[in-house]
Structure 1
Amino acid sequence: MLKFLKNRDFLVKLLLSYFLVFVIPFVAGLYAYYNGYSISLNNLKSYSKTIMTNLPSKINDVALRPLELIEESINASPFYLTLISNHNLLASKNEIILDIRNFTQQLMLYYTSPFILEIGIYIPFENIIITPNFFESSKLYYDYIVRPIDTDYLDWLNLLNKSYNRYFMPMSFLIRGQPRSTILFLHSLPYWTFQDKKATLFILLDEEKLNDFIKSNVIYENSNIYVLNSDNTTLTQYVPDKNIDSLLKDTIKNSFTENSLTEMKTKKDKIILYYKSDMYQWKYIIAISSQSFFKPINNMKIYLLLYFIFSLILGLPTIVLLSLKSYRPVDEIKNILVSKFKKQKFSYPYSEGIENIEDKSEMIKLKELASLLVAEEEFLRKQINEFLPTLQNWFLEHLLVGNIPSAISEKEVFEKYQIKFDSDLFMVILVEIYDCQNFELQKDITDYSFVRFIIFNILNEVLTSQNNKVYNVILGEKKLGIILNIVDHNDTVDSIVGRLEYGKNFIQSNFAILLTIGVSTIKKGISAINTCFEEAEKALSLKFISGNVKIYKFSDALSQLKDETLSFITPEMENRILECILNGNKASLEEIFKNIHSKIFVSDNIPIIQAKLLCVNLYILYENACRLINYKSSSELFKIIENEIITKTNTLTLDDLFFKIQDNFIRLAEFVKNNQLSFRFTLVEKVKTYIDEMYSDPNLSLSLIAEKFNITPQYLSSLFKEKTGQNLSDYITHLRIEKAKLLLTQTNYSVNEIALKVGYIYPNSFINVFKKKVGLSPTKYRTLYSSQN
């Protein structure tokens, strides 16, 4: 018999396949139908009991428990003492405005619950209502804020004057002009007693959202669910099956036992289960029609018969056709993908030949597309690897200068840039290229990229000798940074400086590259990298005192600059000097320099080193002022500074040097005065233009703009406020919000994309600022104004 079957024709084998594929599943389906009916009935009962066990606790957690917390918090609020001490609250409202504001801000916190539409407190003895945005009479509240639909003012007032203990009732309200179905929660506050009358807390719950929440917790869509209060009044209901709704209304009030789970059958075979909550006396009823529930199962019999007839007529020919045409290139696809991983170098020209695929058969298309996708993946990976050093340098540079928000300093963010620190100890080393004439390609053109390559490789070699990890940062053409992650906790600043000295001397003797290096202290934590950078900057600034081609530690800076106030011009002093120059006020400028000279050079008798550093700071301020008014700085003064301070010729006394700097400042003021210029207005306009161009930069700030225009942040802030009448930060925020409005109404960008385009890294920050300034969320603003346009 088996041999006979093996010699059968192809169609006979297909016939056997037909019985295996169609007939056996049909018989199994009939058996499953009759056996599954009883199982489904038991599952229906279990499902109903489960829903009625879990739903009340879920509603209590998300909607009712917050009401209890609000009630307890308000009842214990010290604001009650403020109210009871003022006999006429409306008349004395201005006197307690801060208390009112603090209390209303507390109320605003409760609006985070999605089910709460309004929170209010009714004070009966003065007939006033307090909400997060309202502190007036109940009449004004009824007329303009929230009004019960189909309830006049006296009935509403009478309702509020009664005594309640966590009572709920359904009521429709007109809230700020919009009709809403709500569940009104009323509770008398025991501590808020005024002349023997207790204040009433009322909260409006969004009945529609509660209904949606119930719907989301229902698995079987034809489950009718009713929620009643202690008076058997329906608070909300979800009734997809209208046929059983009228029947239940006659039975739900008297047919159940409190705090129990009860099954009930009607003449139409309905299953009803009832549950009553312990805390708020809410009653939950679920009703499911067994006929409706088993309708799909009953239809299964018809489908099975149709399936059998269809398979009998069309099944066999379909199997023949599909068998003749079927082809499964699974092995070929697998081999293509596996071969990709075995190849060390994949050179498939994925960008070529894609146009020729359309004319080929389906299976050939599939194989070639798989090859193209694999090649494209490899190409994209190479592109990412090419851009990674640039992205890594950008990230590390911003990390050094403190432009990376603290929220972004997380492990996974650093891993995106392939940055991994092995310990929490850090040091920053700043390297400045002083001279590298051997690498000049032609006159005034130096191959700094090759110079940087040499410096980084040699210094990295000496710094990683103790298993430390280094990350290189290009800060400028001639300025480099190294973030040293110290793994050996016994490593010290002196030992690291010793290795740096060896590397510096090696570079100098073998490549004739002269370097000046500033070294910070060792600090703990990623957040301290910016502090280390600032320390290294201060250490590097000692080159103005002691010369270049040296290594300076931050401890050197501390020992040589014991009193920083004697060496540096304070921001307030810089502001006064710049103000005199921009106004062309020569007399005031002379008075300022006279005071500096008499206090520092005459009275205090400061050390020569600090006096020279003061002159350097004055010269830097002079250069900034020249750029500010488009004035060509004095080359003669630069040579004097270079000769007297950097190369230390000492041909001038400190007094002579100070007065030469003073004379150059006086010339700036005379230049402004003689040309009748008004740079203060011009500067503000330049700043506004710069903000208009750069508002999309998340790093745009007062300090960044001040650095751009070479002035102190304090001076820029006061000048901008004086000329425009608003703070600079407010101006930036206003501009960003206006740009966002245009993008919301005139483009299809998402809110997240718009946030990035107007300078916000985090969409939540943008949404909060937009809502605060406009009064609407970005999404609501787009919906409202786009429809109007």
Structure 2
Amino acid sequence: MKAINSNYIKRMLLSYLPILLVTVSMLIFIFISIINEINVRNAIQANQLTAAFVKNMVDSTLKGISFDAQKMIETSGELQLYLDGPTDRAREFDVSNMLSGLMVRYGLIDSIYLYRAKDGRVLDQSASRPIGQFPDRGYLRSSVERILTGVWSSPRVKENEVRTVSTLVHVTSLGLKIPRDSGSLGYLVINIKVSSLELLISQMIDRNVTQAQLFDTQGQPFFDGNGLAPSNNSLNAETVSDYTGWTYRMSIKGGRLLDLLFHGSTVWVTLALGAIVFAFGSTFYVTRRNYKPIEAILHRIDRFASVVKTAGPKENKNEFAFIDQAIERLITNNMVFQEKQQENLVIRRQQFLQTLLKGEFEDDRATWQQEWQHFGLEAGHFIVALLELDHYVQFGLKYSPNDQSLFKFIISSVAVESAEQQGRRIIAEWISKNQLVLLLLSDEGESLEHHLLQLSEQVRSWVEKHLEFTVTIGIGSAAHRESDIGRSFEDAAAAVSCKVTLGVNQIIDAVELQERQGGEWFDYLEMIRTIVRKLRMSESGWPGELLRLFHEMRVRHLRKDDVERLLHYLVFQLDYEMAETLPDEAKAWLQDAKPAMLLALGQSDTLEQLERCFLIALEGLADHVRALVQNQRHHGLLSEIRSYVEGHYRDPNLSLTMLSDRFEINAKYLSQLFKESFGQNFIDFLMSLRMEHAKQLLRESEVSVQDISEMVGYVNTTSFIRAFKKFVGLSPGQYREAQSKEGVRSIH
């Protein structure tokens, strides 16, 4: 079957592969061609920019020469004197140097000469001679007769004479009349070598890529134009100078190939469409040919499906859907079967392990032997370790059920793999939500504890390093008979329960704990009663007693059950004392301290956690008790002080200082207590007593204001009047008069 499938796949691949290769190759070629076309367009644009740049640079240079020459003619007094004045050899020399300076300033200039009209002599850089002896006399005579000057000429041949040797040079010339309008004084001619212009342009372009040519106004080339593309070539870039009228043409080397790429868009589009048509046609043909065997199979399936569908409603006429449904049902049934088998195996293993740990196998020995052989437990020596997750409450709150199951699977897998690496056999099963049993089996009875300790430490360290929580592992005693496995498990459970005093994330060996002493219960109960009594009496020594209680439990390595029993007794004693003897503190105890302590008992794994939680809860309760006791003492003291003030407010010497000395209490603290208890400070309280008594005397007696001020505790009458007006809003006299009028109105 595999060979048939393999041959069919190869045939399908070999059928479609050529189509794919041809289509992809054509598309890649077209893509590359399009990229080349874009590059050619960019090159043409760059060529146009280069032509414009060359034109601007050459025109700028020629304009500079023309401008400086014109400036020299118009501003140079020596030149004017030379042309119009008497002949002077020194002046001749100065003018010749002036012309040479212009040549030095512009390296393009080949030669400059000056024609003097009055005597027909020509001055250049070497000598002054008659025009008849000057080598370039033909061009000079024709230029003098021209009406329009100041324009650069087309390329011409100029004869140079150096040491009686004549040479011909191609130049372009500029002629300037002196003066500009008539030329009556003379004529200035500036010659530039065509080769110098060509060199200037060559420095501005890349000769390996670009060719440059310069044409005059009649279309005659300046340079040798071998290999230059024709003017109608679309790849050329031409620009005409507004200054000289010359035409600058830039051509790209290899122009024929680039022109083909530039004008080949239609070809590429045609090839692309052809490639697409070829791909569609070939795919259709190959698919049709390869579908024939599948079509035959589908005909057979259709005949079978029609027979099946006659018995029921016609829900689906798609033969592929029928096949898909059948395969899906097969896969689903197989998965359900596998899951049930796995679940049955897990449940069977867990039941067997529970029976093994409880030692209940003797009731059905035949079944026991069958299970024993099924799980491969023929070894005669055993030892049990119990792994427990630390801080399981926080573990359950932090991770979802799926994550918890994943972590548990990881831990059990690590334990099994670690045992296999050591050449050991173990059974690892979770017997509760936070406990994993590790049963080590061995054919040898020696070093069982050592091997299990080594394996447990490897598992514990791996969990600490790779996961975000820790585990504590208790090691039981070695069992050399099947009936002793339950005892080994009990020892491991007892060992792991001691983590409450020994701490989490460690290995606890039951053998090391066999000699421990649990301590006298009377001592613990006496410490608990002392803590409760001192806390109830608001004494300061209860924290030390609480810390001593936890220290004793830690030193004597009490098991978790014993620790919880003692701390529950502490909660019971506090509950009784607070509810029965101190009803006012019962609310703080029942709402805050007691729930916090019970929550700590349910969630804490170590004595350190319990100690910290209990200490915080009881400190809050002690603060509340202390505050209530102080309030009760202050209430009695303030009642006594108030009675004293109400009886002695007439005393002018009554003040906070006097009360502080009399009742032995700080004056500032007394003022604060007055404000908290009576809602006003001492001064306002004393003033209200004095003013109410003064108002009564003013209403009911004829005693003078001075006498009333003394009777209510004021030595200075003015101070009394000011205080009365501030308190009542009227002076004592106005108040008495107002009360008298009110009394008369009430009589009438």
Q: By the TM > 0.5 criterion, same fold?
A: no
Higher relative helix content: 2
Provide the TM-score with structure 1 as the length reference. Answer: 0.27
Provide the TM-score with structure 2 as the length reference. Answer: 0.28
